[in-house]
Structure 1
Amino acid sequence: MKELLYVIPPHEHDVLTLTKILEEHPQIKFVSLMGIDMGGNTTAEKIPMHLFIEDMEDFLTYGIQTDGSSVVLQEIATLNNARLDIIPDIHVNWIVDYNYDFIEKEDCLPVGTLIIPSFLVHEHKKVDSRAILERAAQYFKESTLELLTQYPHLLKNLGLADIEDIEDITLTAATELEFWVKTPEDKADIEKLTTSQTLKEQYWKRTQGTVRTALEKTMIEIEKYGFQPEMGHKEVGGVRSQIGVDGKSNHVLEQLEIDWKYSTALQAADNEIFVRQIVEDQFQHHGLEVTFRAKPIEGVAGSGEHTHVGIALKLKSGRIINLFAPKELKEDYLSTLGYGALMGILRNYEIVNPFINSSIDAFNRLKPGFEAPVCIVTSLGHTVENPSRNRSVLVGLVRDMQNPLATRFEVRSPNPLSNTFLVIAALYQAMLDGMMAVAQSGKEGKELEREISKKAGQEGFYLEKNRAYRSEENVFEYYSQQERNAIFGTPPATPWENISYFDQHKDRVGILLRGEVMTPNTINSVKASTIDIWKKELLNRVLIENIHLIRECKKLHKEDTATDLDEVLWRKINALRHELMKNSLEKTSLLGRIREALMEEDYEIASELQIEMSKKIQELRQGYIRYKRNLIDL
């Protein structure tokens, strides 16, 4: 396997060099142009390598054509205007994806496919997620240089004397991938999972058997591609697997996390796609199912994908300065622009969140008690000298007193199926808005700390009067739900409520459009695709799963051994079952009313009914567990 090629870097993307490399590696038999639509889905196709080599210059310049109506580009590529070009991006790494189940007899090497990250072009415009992030990064760089030029006090705050000292601005990002693995067809035992999670029996424990092998192979494979893995470990969810008579693991149900090194913004988002593919391939090769769903099992920990963002200035001297780190680490939490960037995320989060959480599954994860954020709030640390990590907030400030370059923001709301390209792009636009406001205000240091630390009801020059934005407490335990909603704002509970913020905050949507990073069609496409996915998820998964649950909640007690408590508990359960699912001539069930609302496109009512259904389903689950616990004979 030492002969395998894993990465082709940008400086080798010319025709002559590529031809030589590919002819020296005949095991790479296909090419696939990978575009990313607005839903975060990747395009994948198999182009024979000999065709790519024969017409490489045209491929690199014009790409290939496809039907844009078949990908998630609503309001952009329509049925009567569906032509879409997939154009290779020659400025990022290309990787080779190997099929280890297909070994060529001639050279005993696996067949490879060269994956080329690409742009989706409609009517001569890049309209895909990668293009949006590319434009956001470029606009952020240009605007930051303008701010530093226009407001010299910002340079002084960073310890710089002259704007000419800056050679480049680097936008860095990193993600952390959490996921569940399981033995196919095994069903989850919610009580066992909940108990294991409460007792912390799995978190950071030693992996064993098939899971250990698959995880170790995944880490090694990631290393081969240069992604620089930093850690792989068990997460909080899961139960211990069992060993079968054949010596192999069975009844596997575990939650894992893999972290790797940061990169530039666009490359980091590409890398995440590649890592997900490697994880899937390795674990499936060992007979295990992988899911990146945010909340695959109700009642236990979901999977997050904390997203880290940072900005660095590269000076002509070769020195690197963190844009967010203060000149004196022991005097301030952040630089002036660092405070501005953080406030920008917090003030504008309502219009950023639709790009982060767009599914029912995503909102199922965002509930108190599972270390997932529910409030628009940050934590700076208990003192400037001692950085802390508050895991209950939306945006955490990561600092290292020995390393100013480590200063960055950790956004904790994304999940593994969030579209990282759009997430980071929206965050950049929001951060830039705050940076502009802070620069214009002339405020620095402690004044900005007071702004971000203000109480609800206090006036701020940028942040909303009726909101608070900072807490060093555990917001789940320190505040009641009513207090959280009053202080930090009521969070959306459904995808419909989330995208409704675009209409409620029309004045702020313009922030996303600055620099032509996004367009009104981009916003409309996100809204249309979110509604489409929400409807399908609700009708074809959530309602179906709830019907199965309702039918599984059957009368179990026997009359001769039953107590009056059994009868009372069962009557309550049965009444819930009928209310949820059973229609009559006089009354439509809750599930039936949701279907009707969706068919009539009354999304406001459908959203309200979804929230009501979720509460009653939870009540049914808990009631049935209590009912079964009281039964002697089952």
Structure 2
Amino acid sequence: MFKNYSEAKEYILENNIKIIDFKIVDMSGRWHHLTIPATRFDEKLLKDGIGFDGSSYGFLTVEKSDMVFIPDLTSTFIAPFSEIPTLTMIGNIYALKEKRERFEDDPRYLVEKAKKFLVDKNIADTALLGPEFEFYLLDSISVKNEVNHMEVSIESSQGEWNAANKENNTGLNIRNYNSYHLDKPFDTNSDFRDMVTLHLEENNIPIKYHHCENGGPGQVEIEVCHGDIVEMADRTMKLKYILRSCAAKFNKTITFLPKPFNGECGSGMHIHLHLFDKGKPLFYDENGYSKLSQTALYSIGGLLKHAPALMPFTNPSTNSFKRLIPGFEAPVSICFATANRSAVIRIPNYATEPMDKRYEIRFPDGTCNPYYAYSAVLMAMIDGIENKIDPTKEGFGPFDFNLYNLSEEQKKSIKALPTNLLEAAEALENDHEFLLKGNVFSKNIIKNQIDRIKKDHYKINEMPHPEEFKMYYNL
């Protein structure tokens, strides 16, 4: 938003800004914040930064936990719904060694390094990403998990289970798997999405469109216009923040949980990908498969080869793998195809012009840290291009048929994604050298991510589940 301190100060004075709020991201992709009065915002702060405890973010140990963040003026945006006029800035994290330097494991620094690696390799100067954000907009959520009581209760006025409700029922309940692109008045969340869209546009997050998704109890999708990888990582964090702020104003709650409902559609975060160099699209070839260039196919080869190892960053929750089951437009087969939603990589059949030619990777979800996830995806693409990994020669397709209907014999010939976090962690343990290139990822990040998701896996795996009581209580 601002190029220098003078521009920021002028805006603060002209718009009567009273509060400056700083956001810093942790390893899991959550924002933390620290706030100062606008009168304290000066050039010295932009030079010296603000100290904080890095151990509380999971970055450093307690005995060596002092860190500093310095606000990035270009990341400034207007905080929606603040009662007091507030500007928000994202901070870059610095480590205190012999001299102050960017912390190598700062998620925001990681995506900058990945972009630089792409440029330094003379592959491209722009990596455009277009995430599709699927989520559920709900009325309420309650959770209780104690020694003798396990319960989750989710409420949505749109839910099919409310069809028999005799109080204030307007008959707008939606059957399961039956909400895709529904019109008003059945689309009861349309006004919410309209308001969110305007706030996002005001904060430099252009929106392609929004609509109801297929999940009956309030599933929706917001698709953003494509943007460069560094900017898109910031936009992802801003979008989640603005969405949740708007939901609070509507007395609603939002979840990006991949599978909040049993027997209902899950929520993913499909990512459209294409590369450009000096404005020239690198993924188009009139004579290539589905009009894809060899560069595009090599990048697909890299993504498919490393797909299992990407999942600790793209699908880092135990719940992620409850979505990745056949039959719910969630891919499990490691392959590529045109217009095929059952493949891990889908090439949109409608994107035929050179500037639009791209593909989408369909297994990531919204529980990821976008800085880590986008960086890992780009590193796999670069590895495929550098090493000329041909996806067809590797046995990844193209498979232009419904992969959900494979026979047991056919399934054996097509590799599948990991089925839980433990398998994903093991895949990353065995395949991470491509992430270390250019010092983009550190061994510390990889180790910490593996340790974290393994811990989550064992924690959930050890807990009794209510369904087990139905199945085994009387045996």
Give the TM-score category using the shorter length: 0.7 to 0.9
1:136-155 to 2 correspondences below 5 Å: 136-145=114-123
Q: Which amino acid aligns with 1:452?
A: P
Match of 1:474 in 2: 402
Contact 1:236 1:301 in 2 (8 A): yes
Q: CA deviation at 1:491?
A: 2.9
Match of 1:492 in 2: 418
In structure 1, the gaps of 5 or more residues are 1-8, 103-110, 146-167, 239-252, 315-319, 382-388, 439-447, 454-459, 552-572, 580-634
Matched, 1:23 2:13: yes
Matched, 1:181 2:134: no
Matched, 1:414 2:391: no
Once superposed, which parts of structure 1, at least 4 consecutive aligned residues long, lie more than 6 Å away?
A: 195-199
Scaled by the length of structure 1, the TM-score of the pair is: 0.66
Match of 2:107 in 1: 129
> Among 292, 314, 323, which residue is 2:282 paired with?
323
- What's the CA shift string for 1:558-606, capped at 9, x where partnerless? xxxxxxxxxxxxxxx4x61356xxxxxxxxxxxxxxxxxxxxxxxxxxx
CA distance in 2, matches of 1:177, 1:215: 12
Task: Return closer, same or farther for 1:276/1:369 CA change in 2, 3 Å cut-off.
Answer: same
1:196-275 to 2 correspondences below 5 Å: 200-208=177-185, 211-238=189-216, 253-275=217-239
Identity of aligned residues (%): 23
Tell me the C-alpha RMSD between the 2 structures: 2.8
CA distance in 1, matches of 2:159, 2:86: 44
Task: Return closer, same or farther for 1:527/1:35 CA change in 2, 3 Å cut-off.
Answer: same
Q: CA deviation at 1:224?
A: 1.9
CA distance in 2, matches of 1:41, 1:216: 25
Matched, 1:373 2:331: yes
- What's the CA shift string for 1:60-116, capped at 9, x where partnerless? 22321111111133xxx11221122222234x432111325x2xxxxxxxx233221
- What's the CA shift string for 1:412-447, capped at 9, x where partnerless? 111112122111111111111111122xxxxxxxxx
Contact 1:395 1:411 in 2 (8 A): yes
CA distance in 1, matches of 2:252, 2:457: 28
Name the count of aligned residue pairs: 448
Match of 1:452 in 2: 391
Q: CA deviation at 1:234?
A: 0.7
Matched, 1:116 2:84: no
> Among 281, 293, 308, which residue is 2:257 paired with?
293
Q: CA deviation at 1:191?
A: 10
Contact 2:160 2:176 in 1 (8 A): no
CA distance in 1, matches of 2:290, 2:193: 40
Q: CA deviation at 1:397?
A: 2.1
Matched, 1:42 2:1: no
Q: CA deviation at 1:187?
A: 4.2
Contact 1:283 1:290 in 2 (8 A): yes
Q: CA deviation at 1:188?
A: 5.8
- What's the CA shift string for 1:240-267, capped at 9, x where partnerless? xxxxxxxxxxxxx311111121111111
Higher share of residues assigned strand: 2
Match of 1:79 in 2: 62
Secondary structure, counterpart of 1:269 in structure 2: helix
Task: Return closer, same or farther for 1:259/1:191 CA change in 2, 3 Å cut-off.
Answer: closer
In structure 2, the gaps of 5 or more residues are 142-152, 164-172
Q: CA deviation at 1:223?
A: 2.2
Q: CA deviation at 1:198?
A: 7.7
- What's the CA shift string for 1:489-537, capped at 9, x where partnerless? 243222112101123x2xx421110001011111112112223444455
Secondary structure, counterpart of 1:324 in structure 2: coil
CA distance in 1, matches of 2:417, 2:288: 35
Matched, 1:521 2:459: no
Q: Which amino acid aligns with 1:521?
A: N
Matched, 1:577 2:469: no
Match of 2:146 in 1: none
Scaled by the length of structure 2, the TM-score of the pair is: 0.87
Match of 2:166 in 1: none
Secondary structure, counterpart of 1:85 in structure 2: strand
Q: Which amino acid aligns with 2:282?
A: L
Which stretch of the first structure deviates more once superposed, 133-142 or 212-221? Answer: 212-221
CA distance in 2, matches of 1:179, 1:203: 13
CA distance in 2, matches of 1:578, 1:86: 57
Q: CA deviation at 1:192?
A: 4.0
Larger Rg: 1
CA distance in 1, matches of 2:176, 2:468: 29
Match of 1:106 in 2: none
Match of 1:582 in 2: none
CA distance in 2, matches of 1:99, 1:421: 26
Match of 1:94 in 2: 76
Q: CA deviation at 1:180?
A: 0.8
> Among 430, 434, 438, which residue is 2:384 paired with?
434
Match of 2:149 in 1: none
Contact 1:210 1:286 in 2 (8 A): no
Secondary structure, counterpart of 2:359 in structure 1: strand
